[in-house]
Amino acid sequence: MTFNDIIGQNRTKSFLLQLTQSERIPHALLFLGPTGSGNLALAVAFAQLLQCEKFGGKSAADSENLFGEASQTPFEGACGECNACHKAATFTHPDIHFSFPTVGTNAVSTDYLKQWRAALSENPFLDANTWLQRLDADNKQGNITKEECNAIIKKLSLKAFEGRYKILIMWLPEYLGKEGNRLLKLIEEPPEQTIFLLAAENQDMILNTILSRCQLVKTDFLSDEEITESLQQKRNLDANRARQIAFLADGNLNTALLIADNPENDDARLLLDWLRKCWRGNGVELVKWTDEFAKLGRENQKQFLHYGLHFLREMMALIATGNPNLRLRPEELATAQNMAKVLNFEKITQLVGLFNDNIYYVERNANPKILFLDTSIQMNRIFKNA
């Protein structure tokens, strides 16, 4: 994976290139940014750049080709053609090691390398929930275990096999907990030519002793335009559908890809039907609706809730300005105009809070029948509260 394979984050890419060209690579870098912004992808691409056999801190224009002539095609980042790049691109380079959350008291990352390589190949912007469900975690919590920390220490104590560096890419060090203390000495005083690349999303959940030993590399939310472009390239979507998904994704490319990969549901019709039933407050109707909705599956439920948030935000804008928003399709606009007659900002804000809470609970495997029936009752109370 090269920088050219990663959408956006040009500021961060430029910084990493300058860092590499200076040949003063910090021994520990922490890539920190929101979910779906590309922290892990950047760490993987940077590791490939560091191992690239053709990148020596200068562009290809400064080197000579086989005929002794200067190349006219400078490259940025890893060449993508050398033996090291080929191995790094398939996540099999012997000197690029991976550590990530797993399921089980004594589990280590090497037990899941096959699944990890497949997941990275499909979507290097994945989130923790997507990864853990791939491991059939169900309600189990992911973690980076004591055994994993011991395995890391053992791996990095060995000499590099064929690369310029020994590199450990740790995804989501938030899952280390107190076990991270086992790695402090290694991070602070690593063996020669050893580099730690940590990709994180929540700074508050990382041990301060680890944070203090890393140079911070921050990433930004992706813009709607960047996500739209990526969806067109990666999923061959038409521009209108890509823009709609990008808006729903709110800067998270992983969410955008999940929406694109799931069969398109009639979320507008489903939401309108739910709102009507919540307004009437008929218990039998609500139970029947939640029983059917629970069958959709977690990712479809999350997609529906993200659509609901999109709809509520647009309705607030409609109430505030009185003008139709171009982000709403005709059928959505008609529904929003009808709802605007009975809802105000306070009630919509309460609904937004409910939807956000439900996304959180769905990701943590809450019982959908209980969750959405309770939400339906709360929505009825919001609607009827004058």
Pairwise pLDDT comparison (86 vs 296), residue with the higher score? 86
- 319 and 281 fall within a common domain: yes
Query: b/e string for 3-42 if b means 16 or more Cβ within 10 A?
Result: beebbbbeebbeebbebbeeeebebbbbbbbbbbbbbbbb
- For residue 5, pLDDT beyond 50: yes
pLDDT of residue 65: 37
Render pLDDT for 194-223 as a digit per residue (tens, 0 to 9): 999 999 999 999 999 999 999 999 998 899
- For the segment 369-386, the average pLDDT, to the nearest whole number, is 91
- For residue 115, pLDDT beyond 60: yes
pLDDT of residue 267: 79
- 210 and 286 fall within a common domain: no
- 193 and 240 fall within a common domain: no
- 22 and 119 fall within a common domain: yes
pTM for this structure? 0.78
Spatial separation of the C-alpha atoms in residues 158 and 171, rounded to whole Å: 22
* Total domains in the fold of the chain: 3
- For residue 181, pLDDT beyond 50: yes
- For residue 320, pLDDT beyond 80: no
- For the segment 370-374, the average pLDDT, to the nearest whole number, is 96
Spatial separation of the C-alpha atoms in residues 68 and 12, rounded to whole Å: 34
Predicted confidence band of residue 74 (pLDDT cuts 50, 70, 90): very low
- For the chain, what is the mean pLDDT? 86
- 45 and 66 fall within a common domain: yes
* CATH number of domain containing 380: 1.20.272
Pairwise pLDDT comparison (270 vs 195), residue with the higher score? 195
- 179 and 249 fall within a common domain: no
Length of the chain: 386
Predicted confidence band of residue 108 (pLDDT cuts 50, 70, 90): very high
Given the structure tokens 């394979």, which residue do they identify? Answer: 5
Q: What angle do CA 139, 261, 127 make, to 5 degrees?
A: 40
Least confident of 202-206, 320-324, 340-344, 360-364: 320-324
Of 104, 131, 127, residue with least CA distance to 119: 131
Contact call for residues 142 and 107 (beta carbons, < 8 A): no
- 156 and 42 fall within a common domain: yes
Encoded amino acid at 159, one letter? K
- 211 and 297 fall within a common domain: no
Integer-rounded Cα radius of gyration of the chain:
24
Q: Cβ of 97: how many Cβ atoms within 10 Å?
A: 19
- 279 and 349 fall within a common domain: yes
Contact call for residues 284 and 38 (beta carbons, < 8 A): no
| DSSP output for 30-76 | EEE--TTSSHHHHHHHHHHHHH-SS-SSS-GGGSB-TTSPBPS----
- 17 and 158 fall within a common domain: yes
- For the segment 154-162, the average pLDDT, to the nearest whole number, is 93
- For residue 138, pLDDT beyond 70: no
Tell which phi-psi region holds residue 221, choosing left (phi > 0), alpha (psi between -120 and 50) or beta. Answer: beta
Decide which of 184, 218, 252 is a domain's last residue: 218
* CATH number of domain containing 20: 3.40.50.300
Spatial separation of the C-alpha atoms in residues 202 and 33, rounded to whole Å: 8
- 206 and 298 fall within a common domain: no
Predicted confidence band of residue 269 (pLDDT cuts 50, 70, 90): confident
**Owning domain of residue 246:** 224-261
- 250 and 330 fall within a common domain: no
What is the maximal distance between C-alpha atoms in the chain? 82
